[in-house]
Amino acid sequence: VLLNDPTFIESARNLAERVIHETNQDDKRLSLLWRFAVSRQPDVEERSLLANLLKQRRKEYRKNPKAAEDLLAVGISPRDNSLDVIEHAAWTATARAV
């Protein structure tokens, strides 16, 4: 099974939904994302890498909203349509990296 398998993408999407709903502060979301995935807080370097990745993904998906929609369409469970597509996709991509 590869990390591009729909199951892993869907899991990342659901993890992204969870952290988005927890708080609206990126720094807290990044900490939660890391803690939920690896059971500890990220160190300074890890947090910086995640923050940069999130920033890059937001930029990419703003330029290509169709790619964001395609990513969020992967999997069986429906996505939370109340969430902004660009934001949700950026957080999903970040969660996939963790």
* Alpha-carbon separation of residue 81 from 17, 33, 77, 78 (angstroms): 10, 20, 12, 8
For 43, the enclosing helix (H) or strand (E) is: none
Domain ranges of the chain: 6-97
| pLDDT value of residue 3 | 62
Q: How far apart are CA 51 and CA 20, in angstroms?
A: 15
Q: Provide the whole-model pTM.
A: 0.93
Average per-residue pLDDT for the chain: 95
| pLDDT value of residue 4 | 73
For 29, the enclosing helix (H) or strand (E) is: helix 26-38
Confidence of residue 83 (pLDDT cuts 50, 70, 90): very high
